[in-house]
Amino acid sequence: MAIRPILVAGDPRLTTPATRVTVFDDELAALVEEMFETNTAAPGAGLAANQIGDPRSVFVYDLRDGGVRHHGHVINPVLETSGIPETMPDPEDTEGCLSVPGELFPTGRAQWARVTGVDVENNPVTVEGTGYLARCLQHESDHLAGLLYL
């Protein structure tokens, strides 16, 4: 496997919506493993495939929230959230991104999020959480929609 270079803001691949995965094979499984390796090396809480130049709708996550480790991947995610704040985010409510290295920006996010999709074997997956996990699920889903949090 390999650690892949992470694209930075300004690369048009980061603002291009991901393509739905339809082929579930060893190449897809290898992509997910490389994404975990790249995310760990960065280090990050999550990584979307388009951040390493792959157009497929895949993200991985590996983070601790409230003393609990959350680790997994979602292919073809569909995001649901509680209400997103309509006011400007609290200046202390910041978020970082591996594609915007060294920067933190105030980013309003829903307190609860659920992502449904499938895993590398095309089995159904649901990930649901609050707090930091909810933020990560929203952030990575945004990447796959071609949205940067800037």
> How many structural domains comprise the chain?
1
Burial of residue 25, with CB atoms counted within 10 A of its CB: 0-12 exposed, 13-18 middle, 19 or more buried = exposed
**Residue 105 sits in a domain of what CATH number?**
3.90.45.10
pTM equals 0.94
Instruction: Give tens-digit pLDDT for 51-76.
Output: 999 999 999 999 999 899 999 999 99
Structural domain range at position 91:
12-144
Residue 2, domain member (yes or no) = no
Predicted pLDDT of residue 107: 87
Residue 53 covered by a domain: yes
> Of 86, 92, 103, 140, which one is the catalytic site residue?
140
Residue 68 belongs to some domain of the structure? yes
Residue 31 covered by a domain: yes
- Distance in angstroms (rounded) separating the CA atoms of residues 65 and 129: 10
Which amino acid would we find at residue 112?
W
Residue 135 domain-assigned (yes or no): yes
Q: What's the burial of 66, exposed, middle or buried (CB within 10 Å: 0-12/13-18/19+)?
A: exposed
| 27 belongs to the catalytic site | no
What distance separates the 2 farthest-apart alpha carbons in the chain? 45
Residue 149 lies in a domain: no
pLDDT tens for each residue of 13-64: 999 999 999 999 999 999 999 999 999 999 999 999 999 999 999 999 999 9
